[in-house]
Structure 1
Amino acid sequence: MAGNGPITQDWEPIVIRKKAPTAAAKKDEKAVNAARRSGAEIETIKKSTAGTNKAASSSTSLNTRKLDDETENLTHERVSSELKKNIMQARLGKKLTQAQLGQLINEKPQVIQEYESGKAIPNQQIITKLERVLGVKLRCKK
Structure 2
Amino acid sequence: MSDWETVTILRKKPPKASAMKSEQAVNAARRQGVAVDTQTKWGAATNKQHLTTKNTAKLDRETEELKHDKIPLDLGKLIQQGRQSKNWSQKDLATKVNEKPQVINDYEAGRGIPNQVVISKIEKAIGLKLRGKDRGQPLQPPGTKK
TM-score, normalized by length of structure 1?
0.49
* Structure label with greater radius of gyration: 1
TM-score, normalized by length of structure 2?
0.48
The answer to which structure, 1 or 2, has the higher relative contact order (CA under 8 A, 6+ apart) is 1
